[in-house]
Structure 1
């Protein structure tokens, strides 16, 4: 791992942005232990323009070479958190690697905070001033304009008009394409078929008729009138794959898991399991109790 040298200082000044991942490698969740927000804050405090990897400014999105991507090098053991910060350019070349920060704090959030701040001391010693060099080395754009030149018509190209005017022969032939009155059969499909002879009298109307069949997801089919009214207000707390609903105690009443259908969740409680869904701007909980379907109206605050 390269150390922080005078050359690294000079190279660092060539870049305007620090790109911070919302989830560092090795972590299961975004901003776990507040690592991403801490790293972004430290670089911003040092004078860098910072941006999350999924939310780049227009200038950086057009030219990724304006920025360096920071990664967290995690070499932690069971009892010690060990981390270092590494900066790479748009081609994956390592520009700077900090010293390793260490912490023996038992709480992960506290230990990563302490270790990252210690590692960042390597950057604190540098006098960063953006030189503007990266803006002058934008990606080369290749233009194919004027690559195709006009070509001469072949000498033997067949003329649309063939004519001869001599004393012996007088002739004129026009080979230009003629407009056709032919129309596709699909366009002349009959919508009415009828027969009127002495032997047969018939009339069949094939014009498309409007259908009275309604879509299966029509809101008119979801009228709920026998729902039990809600007794308490439930507050939704977001989880990784859904929500948990708690009352004012606070006690967890239900856990909701997302499905592929909007506003439709699989619900689990202490002694009940079913579905929670929205219908006509109201939330309902449906489950089976003793073989009978029970519908409860819920008052949920998100």
Structure 2
């Protein structure tokens, strides 16, 4: 009876080890944190550097947290496992355990508890970590690209390129609208007749509403013909904006300016003698 139970446990252990190995082989990188929770300083006792070295020794491509990541990892963080080392309580022993999690925080691997009876902290942590890494060595890790990860990288790259293209197109349309408005304004000035006896009046620049200390200026949109009027809490009309042929892009009435949406924010962009300036707005539609 005992023999059968022991055989069953060994079979379960072998199956779990093979499954862990197959799963971990799909990950190309391992990210090592700069500091472990049970220590007070980054790389204290050189434990984090030792972790990186041992992962490299057993076939992984290890990267320190915050370092310059390879291009494929920047595009798809799910190519990497996040490593951690935890300390277990022990009266006469130092006990360390290695853990690997995927990009969603799911635990993919937990090592055996590495132990050391050394009293010196640096020696104890060093020996206990090396003992725990025997489980990592037993994995016999070799990177095998996963089709799902490759597909994710491809999709992310395509989406990124499409977003960049849309932003470039939006900027070009804004520039074209500015040129058209400027040409119309110059034509109007040419046709207008200004009496020679009239004393020139200096133009007083319009003071742009400033953002509050709590964030961007908050405005409320009220629908009017062919657009909206934006009012503050007073309520006072701050801007009147007209619709264009493009969604989330408006011309500001009476000004050489546009309002458009960039990501989750609204941007008020206007021309001055010093050049083009921008101001972030919080518009409530």
What TM-score results when the alignment is normalised by the length of structure 1? Answer: 0.47
Q: Larger relative CO (CA 8 A, sep 6+): 1 or 2? A: 2
Give the structure with the larger helix fraction. 2
Give the greater-gyration-radius structure (CA): 1
Give the structure with the larger strand fraction. 1
What TM-score results when the alignment is normalised by the length of structure 2? Answer: 0.50
